[in-house]
Structure 1
Amino acid sequence: MIENVIEMNMLLDFYGKLLSEKQFKSMEMYYNYDYSLNEIAKELDISKQAVSNNLKRAEVNLKEYERDLKLIENFNTKEKEKRCLKDLFNDLETNSKDLDCITLNKIYSIIFGEEEVC
């Protein structure tokens, strides 16, 4: 259950603005604010069945967007690569006898937008 909530929140972050306004609001209220179907229906002035339909259609749409565009998959891959590079920089700093800190800091800054490795 919690995995589905996390997945839907990620999908909403990346693709939410591609949904219709009512689908987006329904998803946001349901997954981000933990509203019940009845609460969403009252807030949006639609039936509980319409809320349920909006949620189901939105979930399908969001999953299709990710299947086709792979923005989340690419983001996760880049984050993993970034963590790996940071570990390698730390290893280099720790294990190198003739470390060129100026060059290393420039490279690190370009890749991560951060300063001062050593």
Structure 2
Amino acid sequence: MNKERIYKLLFSSVYPLYIKKVESKGRTVEELDTVIFWLTGYNAKSMQKQIDKKADFETFFNEAPKINPNASKITGVICGYRVEEIEDPIIQKMRYLDKLVDELAKGRKMEKILRE
């Protein structure tokens, strides 16, 4: 993985792609936001600030209020990598988010996605 390139991806440019992905599978933006808020501790207002300032993923995760302690329960393969084995903490959090969005798009129940 090219760490510098991945770190500099803008959350504001990927978020609309997440929306498109989940909506095309019959899920809602509200459900997507719930998943993002669960993982990062952001709320609607604080996440919008990150979008408005065009924060890259490194900044987005470094400034996250609190990464959910149950995030380590997110396991599986995303983009060819086993998320629980990714050593770089920022890339691991990005892949956690990708995995959660995938699960949402695949119709998994919210209780399961949020590791309740």
TM-score of the aligned structures, taking structure 1 as reference length: 0.34
TM-score of the aligned structures, taking structure 2 as reference length: 0.35
